Amino acid sequence: MKKLYIVVVALIAASFVLSACGTAAPPAADELKIGVVTDVGQLEDKSFNQASYEGGKAAAEKLGATFDVIVTQNISDYKQNIQTFVDQGFDVIITVGFLIGTDTAIAAKENPDVKFIGVDQNICVDEQGAPDATFTCAGDAATLLPNYQGILFAEEQAGYLAGIVAGSISKTGTIGSVAGTSLPAVVAYIAGYEAGAKSVNPDIKTLTQEVNPDPAKGFNDPATGKAIAQQFIAQGADVLFQVAGLTGQGVLEAACDAGIYGIGVDVDQVQTLPNLSKCIVTSAEKKLKDTIQAVAESAATDEFKAGEVFYNAASEPPAIGLSPYHDLESVITPEIQAKLDDAFAKMKSGELKPPRK
């Protein structure tokens, strides 16, 4: 009993001594520091948070920079988390998700010496460079906030490629897509998808449905996803494209159960859902990690671009594309691959511009 007290007292004393000394040696002033503030949720979300973390980390390793991450737990903590990086002298701060955009813009205005990279962020500011709640967006973000880049992706281009695959491999002439919530990025994917499918089969019938206008439910409801997919399958669809996060898992499961094909989204979903590899033909990918890494590296140089930047087929490295076909390599015939390569080349050159809406 006495011993326990002694241990406890010793621990407390030790912690105070440590506090006094200061354990974390202050890094050299000229060392580059890169930090990531995630969106609400887990770090390992197999999506934006994780890709931003991995991209930022890869850039930091290449540049020999210090790298840290703060995981956001509450929607109202964004400001405090960004501020912590600023106070700790970080040079590049990557913020993830559209909801954190407002606080990122404010921080960018207050701290012109720090570079901010907003993943998946539109920048809408007024003439003073402050966030604009009225959506007039009168200010030019690139000149007012030269230290802030909003990374956006040409989802329609990835969707277009997925659409070519779907249109080519469909035997019934009916394909489907499931949208979690009709956010702009989701709409773009699906618009591109339908255009891509029509480019190879002008008569193709396309089915699509939004799961729920509330993103908290739209992207997190596998059961409903499965139910919608089964309806589509009953209507003859034999390729399903999911743009619905966790809900999409249900869509892909339904596809597997029915013995038809599914197409994943954002990342290579055979990696995230290995047990469904037998029916995921490919995924319409945003090359999040590579793109974020490239932008983070650019922040250390003079090549840093401000304002909203759309990353697409023409970006270096390419920011969109299809995932490897894995087990279903045989489904993609050389003719289909030729069409895909052709479309990619045309998008890269600017000759082909799939619709975003």
Which residue lies nearer to another protein by CB, 41 or 307? Answer: 41
Beta carbon of residue 107, minimum distance to another protein (angstroms, whole number):
10
CA torsion, ordered 160, 166, 172, 178, to nearest 10 deg: -80
Which residue lies nearer to another protein by CB, 60 or 281? Answer: 60
**Cis amide bond preceding 317, omega within 30:** yes
Helix, strand, or coil (residue 30):
coil
Residues 6 or more apart from 71 whose CB is under 8 A from it?
38, 41, 42, 43, 49
Beta carbon of residue 172, minimum distance to another protein (angstroms, whole number):
33
* Token pair of 157 as six digits: 């281009």
* Token pair of 38 as six digits: 């995630």
Which residue lies nearer to another protein by CB, 45 or 268? Answer: 45
Which residue lies nearer to another protein by CB, 14 or 338? Answer: 14
Interface residues with another protein (CB under 8 A) are 1, 4, 8, 11, 14-15, 18-19, 23-24, 35, 40, 43, 68-71, 73-77, 79-81, 83-85, 87-88, 98-99, 110, 133-135, 181, 183-184, 212-217
Beta carbon of residue 67, minimum distance to another protein (angstroms, whole number):
9
In DSSP notation, 182-212 reads --HHHHHHHHHHHHHHHHH-TT-EEEEEE--
Beta carbon of residue 61, minimum distance to another protein (angstroms, whole number):
11
Beta bridge partners of 151: 119, 309
Beta carbon of residue 218, minimum distance to another protein (angstroms, whole number):
9
| Whole-Å CA distances, 141 to 26, 78, 150, 195 | 34, 21, 10, 31
Which residue lies nearer to another protein by CB, 198 or 356? Answer: 356
Beta carbon of residue 110, minimum distance to another protein (angstroms, whole number):
7
Which residue lies nearer to another protein by CB, 75 or 338? Answer: 75
Is 152:121 a contact under the CB 8 Å cutoff? Answer: yes
